[in-house]
C-alpha cells in the first residue's frame, strides 16, 4: 500500500542486463554474476560474497525450477524470467552486492518495475516466474507526404 492507502502499482521488481543473450533474452542479475564466476574473473572478495549470498538465497527462497521443472521450459514457457515481489524486501536488499560486482566488471544492469510483467507460470511468497507479454512491433516511421507545389 502507498502512503495514501492505494494499492502498490509496481508490485514486481526485476534486475536484468541491458544486452540480450544468444537466445534473445535479457539475463537476470544472478545469471550475469554466475557467468562471471564461471569465467573465473571474480576477485577473492567478490567470490566470497557471491558464494555466501547464493547459499543464502538457496536457503531463503525456493528455486522455481526445483518446485516446478516446467517453469523455465522453453517450449512451454518461452522467455520465462523471474521477478521479485516488492514485499520480498530481505531478498531485494541483497541484490546491491551483485550489482556492485557487475559494475566492477563493466556489466550494465537495470532495475525494472511492473504491476503486470507477463503471464505468471510460477509463484511463491517471494517471487514469480512469468512469460513476458509480447511487445508490440513498432511500425517504421513514415515520412509525411508533401503536396505537389501549385502552379
Specify the 3-state DSSP secondary structure of 4: coil
Using pLDDT thresholds of 50, 70 and 90, give the confidence band for residue 151. very low
Quick one: 76 exposed, middle or buried, by C-beta within 10 A (0-12, 13-18, 19+)? exposed
- pLDDT averaged over the chain? 88
Quick one: 43 exposed, middle or buried, by C-beta within 10 A (0-12, 13-18, 19+)? exposed
pLDDT digits (tens, 9 = 90+) for 78-123: 999 999 999 999 999 999 999 999 999 999 999 999 999 999 999 9
Residue (of 121, 64, 57) closest to 92 by Cα position: 57
| Alpha carbons 90 and 88: distance in angstroms, whole number | 6
Of the chain, the end-to-end C-alpha distance in Å amounts to 66
DSSP per-residue string spanning 57-111? HHHHS--HHHH-TTTT-TTTSTT-EEEEETT-HHHHHTHHHHHHHHHHTT--EEE
Amino acid at each position: 500500500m502507498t502512503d495514501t492507502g492505494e494499492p502498490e502499482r509496481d508490485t514486481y521488481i526485476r534486475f536484468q542486463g541491458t544486452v540480450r543473450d544468444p537466445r534473445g533474452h535479457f539475463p537476470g542479475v544472478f545469471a550475469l554474476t554466475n557467468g562471471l564466476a564461471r569465467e573465473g574473473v571474480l576477485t577473492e572478495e567478490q567470490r566470497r560474497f557471491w558464494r555466501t549470498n547464493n547459499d543464502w538465497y538457496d536457503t531463503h527462497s525456493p528455486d522455481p525450477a526445483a518446485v516446478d521443472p516446467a517453469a523455465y521450459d522453453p517450449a512451454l514457457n518461452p522467455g520465462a524470467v523471474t521477478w521479485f515481489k516488492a514485499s520480498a524486501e530481505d531478498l531485494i536488499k541483497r541484490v546491491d552486492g551483485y550489482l556492485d560486482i557487475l559494475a566492477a566488471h563493466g556489466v550494465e544492469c537495470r532495475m525494472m518495475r511492473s504491476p503486470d510483467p507477463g503471464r505468471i507460470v510460477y509463484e511463491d511468497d517471494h517471487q514469480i516466474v512469468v512469460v513476458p507479454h509480447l511487445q508490440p512491433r513498432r511500425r517504421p516511421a513514415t515520412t509525411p507526404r508533401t503536396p505537389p507545389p501549385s502552379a
